[in-house]
Structures are given as structure tokens and as C-alpha cells.
Amino acid sequence: MKFEVSRSAAVQTIIVPCFSQSFPELAQTIEVLRHATLQPYMGERGAVTWFYSTNGQPDLMLVGLGGAEQFQLASLRDGAGNAGRALLKDKRMTALVSFEALQCPPFAAMPALLPDMLAAWVEGSRLGTYTFDLYKSVKSERLDLDIYFDCESSEELEDAISLGQIRAESTMWARDLTNEPPNYLRPRDLAERTVQRFAGTAVQVSIYEGEELRKRGFTGVAAVGKGSIHPPVFMELRYCSDASKPLVALIGKGITFDTGGISLKRDNDISDMRMDMAGAAGVLGALDVLVRSSAAANVVVLVPSAENNPSDRSMLPGEVIRYANGVTIQVGNTDSEGRLILADALVYAHSLGAKKVVDMATLTYSVVGALGTSVAGIFGHDSFVKALTAAGEPFGEKVWQLPLVDEYERYLSSDYADASNISSGNGGGAIMAALFLRKFVHPSLEWAHIDMNGPKDCSSAKGQLTAGATGWGVRLLAEYLMTH
């Protein structure tokens, strides 16, 4: 898919994103609409309306963004995704995007936002037309779109297009990893793909496995992964292009498939448990954005990865794990394994000198019950949480802060270890998981925990999302690191 700033390109379609308030101006300024009947629903968010030309002129597509007073760049990304799929469906390979209809009160900030708007349209177009059909016998028809923007060319706009392409490509890589079937993405496969992705870049990649896990004190990932014939790994990726910045650690849960282990899951279809490494894909994708855009950053990405399988070697309920910080944990249930491997990384992040740490994981079903499938739960230090929340808003990567309720800590008590990995109380599962993780966060660290089990995937195409993995968190984390 090609994007270019050009007012003179010959195209098949003109795309006009519009607010519901835009219609009076549209009828006056666009010839083909002067005698058309414009309905209010055409300006609603998610609406796509075709006006086909009969005189050899380009067809017109109206893309509704909703009310101007509610406009966010996320709605433009969604509009671009909807428009991209509509172009492919009608096999229109060239299009010109005009933002002229967005210049109406109360939305008066368009000139200042123009670079961000171009980047948003690029991302939404790429992400909204993403497909994962690697294992289908009949592939989707791959058509190349040429998209032009009706603007005066400038270096700032060209840079915006480039950044949009980078964000989209990194997010699609995260989607590819998360969508992979479990027999094609074991822990070592994830490590090998990561090494390949960052080969020849400034990223230093270290992969720890076997005896090295024990030597480095990664007892959690070793315990969770010991039941599978596909051994666990621990990945460490360092990228420092600005040593003056404090070191930030990004931690992603990398369970490549979760059967529940000995505490076997009872659901009818657990195919989506291949996506239990979506947190790992998210932090790796965020690093990919930083590297490809040559961003100034000082970051370490930590990915403990294992396959949680039952066997005669598996971790058993009742076992005790002793972590590198001295904390001992009773394994109450082997299906609460994600927190056991994240604990290794949290302890290790402090030993590396990190000042801030974000862990991201598909950790609980409880957070989906609380917030649904479009919003992730976030816990941690208030100022850090607020900054991460703001970073995700332009991309539609929404988080909602949930409380760390100290009095619930007692539900994690154990009769024979320092704590249990499951709660003895009722409800609050996402909170209990966050409280467990906090036991491994050094008091000097500024910490945030993101439980993104809800928005990790999507059941059908809508906006910038398509069916399958969403690549959630890539742009949120990258944006935070690029602006702080």
C-alpha cells in the first residue's frame, strides 16, 4: 500500500471524511452532492457511503466520523480502516483523501493536527485491511492500494506518513505473532523470530534457556515450562539510543499456549489460548517501532516464554517456587501461570537498574468481566498510569485504572509459603493478580501493570481492527516512550 501527498494524482475515488455537522458545507462545495439527498446517518461514526459517478469523474466516498465535538484521532484511524476495506471490496485501487470537510466548528484545529491526521489515516488503512491467511488453502486476493492526500507537500507530512507506516508494520508484526497456531510458535520459535526481526539493528538480544534459567534465578518460567517437551526461554532485548534517559523495562507475558497445565482448562474450544503471548507480542512490537523510527530511548524488553502443558514432568499444584528476591510461592493452581513467569521478569528488571517498569499480559478473565473486550485494566502508580492512559487514547488503545486494594492481600496467604498464586476470596480476580505481581516490584520502581486480555483480539472487522489478534499495546507503549 502506497501513500503520497499529491493534489494532481488521477484517481478512481475521492474519499471525504466528514462530521455529522459537515453536511451543509458538503452540499455547497462538492459538485456531485449538490443534488444528492444527504441523510444524517452518513456522518455517524463507522458509516461509509458511496456516490458513484456516471460521467467519468471519480466516485465519491463519504466516511462518517461522528460529531466534531467528540472527535479523536482514533476515530480517524477507524474511518480509514472502514474506507480501506470498502475500496478493496469495490476493487478501487487509487484514491484521494480530502480533509476539507473537517474544517467546521467546533473543530478548528485541523491545520495543526494535519501531520497526525495523515499518520492516523496511514495506520488505519494498513491495519484495517490486514489479513492473516497463511494457513488457508485459498488466499485473500492481494490488491495494492495507492492513496494520495489532498495537501501541500512538506517534509513534516512525509515524516508523518513514514511514522504511520512504521507503527502499522510493527503492529501487524505483533498481530502475526499472536495469530500463529501453537504448533508453529513454540517458545524457541518466538525467540528465533525475535532474533531475526532485530538482526542488523542496534538492539542487543540475549536468549536464556536450559541451565541458564536456573543460574539467573528465573525459577518461575522454569517451573511453568518444565511440563512441555518444548523448553521455556527468557528473552532480554536492550535498546539504548539515549543513555541520558532513565532505563524503562517493558515486560510481556509469553505463554505460547496455555492448556492450564495439571489444572486443565475445561472449555470446549481453547484455540485462543495460542494468544496467551499477546503481551509479549505487544512489547516486542513497541520496541520495533522505536528501532525503525530511530527514536531516542533507553529501554529493555523482557519476555519470559513457556508452553503450559500437562505431563509427568509438569509443575504440580502445591509446589513451592523460590524466587530470586527470596519470596516463596505456593502453586495453588497451575492455570494461574502467567503471574509466575512475570514475577521473574519484575525481579530481574530491578537488578538491571530499571527506574520504571510496565508489564503487559493476558492475565485474567476477570478483567474482561469488569471492562469488556475493548478496554484493558491498568494498575500502578497514579502518575505513571495517567501518562500511559494518555499515550493510548489517539490509537484507540483504551485503559481504565483499577484499584490495588491492600486489604485483599490476605487472600493470597499460604499455610507453608510466603504467598499463594491464587486467591482464597471471592471475586476481584484482576486485582488479586496485580497484588500478587506487586510482591515482586522493588519499592524504588515506578510500576504499571496492564491486563489486556479483553482487547487482545477481535471477532470481526471493524474500524482499524480485523478478525483475530489486534496487536494491542504496541502503539500505546511506543508513544509513551517516544514522548517521555
Question: Active-site residue among 186, 339, 398, 439?
Answer: 339
Distance CA(14)–CA(58), nearest Å, equals 6
Here the cell at position 291 is: 528501532
Q: Which residues, other chains included, contact 370 with Cβ-Cβ below 8 Å and sequence gap of 6+?
A: 377, 402, 430
How many CB atoms are closer than 10 A to CB 380? 25
Question: Active-site residue among 34, 265, 386, 410?
Answer: 265
Here the cell at position 237 is: 532485548
The three-state secondary structure class of 462 is: strand
Distance CA(297)–CA(241), nearest Å, equals 5
Distance CA(250)–CA(346), nearest Å, equals 10
- The candidate with the shortest Cα–Cα distance to 79, out of 130, 30, 43, 106, is 43
- The candidate with the shortest Cα–Cα distance to 289, out of 355, 214, 360, 201, is 201
Q: In this structure, what are the phi and psi dihedrals at residue 454, rounded to the nearest 5 degrees? A: -65, -60
Residue 29: C-alpha distances to residues 22, 25, 32 (Å): 11, 6, 9
Q: Which residues, other chains included, contact 158 with Cβ-Cβ below 8 Å and sequence gap of 6+?
A: 5
Residue 119: C-alpha distances to residues 157, 169, 317, 345 (Å): 8, 13, 49, 34
Q: Which residues, other chains included, contact 69 with Cβ-Cβ below 8 Å and sequence gap of 6+?
A: 106, 107
Cα dihedral 62, 67, 72, 78, rounded to 10, equals -40
* Catalytic residue flag (residue 339): yes
* Catalytic residue flag (residue 475): no
Which sequence positions are flagged as catalytic? 265, 339
